[in-house]
Structure 1
Amino acid sequence: MRKFLAAVSAVVVAAGMLAGCSKAADNKDAAYLKDLNLDDYVTLGEYKGVNIEVASPEVSDEEVEQYMQYISSSMKATVEVTDRAVQEGDTVNIDYSGKRVDTGEVFQGGTAEGYDLTIGSHTFIDGFEDGLIGAAIGETRDLNLTFPENYSSTDLAGVDVIFTVKVNGIKIKPDLDDAYAASLGIENVSTIDELKTYLKDRLMEDKQAQYKNEINSKILDAVTANCSFNQPPQATLDRFKGLYTEQADLVASYYSANYGTSYTTDQVLSMMMAQEGFSGEQTDYLDNKSVELAEQFIMLGAIAKLEGIDVTEDELNEKLESDMSNANATAEEGKSIASLDDYKKTVDVENIKENLLTNKVIEFLGENANVTEPAEDATEDAEAAESTENTETESTEETEEAESADSADTAE
């Protein structure tokens, strides 16, 4: 869940992300930076040479080992075992049929062929998996079991049943060794040590990206704090409220499609509110966010004007060409866009131009900021807080996994 919220935060909150992917605006009167006399809405303070503290990214050997453990735990059982009986932790391929003891009838959902079951996963009701331990390949066993009294299907709750189970095969997870590392097909990785180096580099890339995002965030906070603002026009606020909601909707759709858990836009926004400690209504939250984002963009636009920062037509077209290529790569057959002019009709070009402009300004501010390491005590406190958060997260994730297993029990 922590990773989910972090991803939501990165996608929804980051100003640079908010201006890049909206379709052409329905409201023709929407106020973009080019529509505003920016000096009417912001009085700039000091924006060059702001001082911020951000710890340089590091990847410890312990983190690499934890990642290796994650890989090991998530590996699928692929190695066939033929010279022994079923043991705890094996993945067995089975055929099974369940019948009620009182009537001898096969009950709905109690029959399958070629089913892969990990012994010890608690996927099936108590006694089923334990009853297969010691079974040889090709052996058939009758398991006399009783469904729990609180079983979700009232027709089976508390019912005595007999499962007839045949063990077709046994598989185990491969060893996390040099052979496995070589099998991954990663360039220049043929041993475990090389895999660890590769993973360390990838973890560092992630931390470098987080480091840059944290720097940009703190710079924006510092520069914003040095400015004074007048209330942005309503059209601008409406625009940013729509963008913020749209991004939350995209995040919900992405996670629903890729992680097997359904999220709604309201749920994403509620999680963001909780993460930020906002206790009001969702409408109030969106109102506050629209002001925050509008002021930030106005501030960045004013800095761009003062510093002569602009986006050229070539830069804009290069971005649009890239976006069009990405869109076509995932488009359904026959629905790709043939020309840049046609693509421009499907997106908010001015919105994308603002995105490029504000990113340029943020880069300019970063080049002119003073970034230093935090005091040692502060770093230790932050590490301790992160450690506590990780522990709490692991506990939460274990609970979620247990709940997921319970759900699987019900399904079976």
Structure 2
Amino acid sequence: MSQTWEKQEGNEGILTITIPSEELDTALDAAFKKVSKDVSLPGFRKGKVPRQMFEKRFGVESLYQDALDILLPENYAKAIEEADINPVAQPSVDVEQIEKGKDVILKATVTVEPEVKLGEYKGLEGEEIDRDVTDEEIDHQIDHITTEYSDLVVKEEGTVENGDIATIDFHGFVDGEAFEGGHAHDYELEIGSDSFIPGFEEQMVGMEIGEEKDVNVTFPEEYHAEELAGKEAVFQVKVSALKQKETPELTDEFVSELEGYEANTVDELKAELAEQIKKQKEENYEVALKESLVSQAADNAEIDVPDAMVDTETDRMLQEFEANLSQQGLNLELYTQLSGQDENALRDQMKEDALKRVRTNLTLRQIADEENIEVTDEDVDNEVNRLAEQFGMPAEDVKKALGDATMIKEDVKLQKALDLLVDNRKQAE
């Protein structure tokens, strides 16, 4: 096999692959063995037709496609390795010549990874965020804890307030007509949760137990049910019962009984929460800093990203989205029904982020090449151990799940490039 690579404009090129006639003969033999199993001619049993009779009846040309299917995968892989190119999509292959006794000549139109011309990537100014912990943030966490331990208590009298759980009956009408899904009996709604149509819960505040009221709302323009989107509606609402959350008093005794905390007093809890908030802020800062720096570096780079790479990354993002849905007990089909968006709409929404991901990865890889960043076996082992700790798996199981270390090496290389951006950023004065 021999090859020639001719780069064209943009990210495409022509890869000419020449395969010796001897390889074609071998492939034709294999193709005949494959197809002859199902061939029968008068005077011959099925699968027993001689090669000469087969070619006389059907022609050797009938074997060419099966022979190409045998020849192309291995020879294409060798050709791109010799040409030192990195295809990002399946090639379009034209057969220039295929004839028994002659070399096979194939011309493949190949979309390759784009060249990256780096701009400024050192001395960039990273995003700064406030990492100090405030009393308000600690109090917010405490409110969250006490709310988790709240009890629901029946309100015998009084009116609907934010935070109450109202048991209601409702019937919805658009243009005087009831619509599907617009009614319920003994429905429990947390007031202030914003789980209903905008304006619905706010109009219920102040209603008394047993009171009936018309609630006027307008469905959002992007509402999942197209027949209701943007429409004005009237809901006949009756409050049949009310419950309110009764939060426990924050005392040392309450703190000492909390699960998941080491604190035994209110002061100790506040100190523990302050440490947790600070740690989270530091992690958020690190993430925000890296995102800011790599985004600037990618913006400064010149990259003509092929559509094929964006499509591939969009596919990957959609798979990640489906995996997240499955963890919530949903699937893509059910999600599209609930959201009113089909898969094409989801893909369109993801494409901008997909393009950003591709530009980011290409930029980091080019930085790694420019800076001669290398990944050692120790680096790989450290990453495997980190993943093992993160997922609660033995390191050997992580290695088996990932197969060879190529993916880990690539991830570590990009991470090292990110660290380089951080180490070389413009320091705040």
Using structure 1 for the length normalisation, give the TM-score.
0.49
More strand as a share of residues: 2
Structure of greater relative contact order (alpha carbons < 8 Å, 6+ residues apart): 1
Larger radius of gyration: 2
More helix as a share of residues: 1
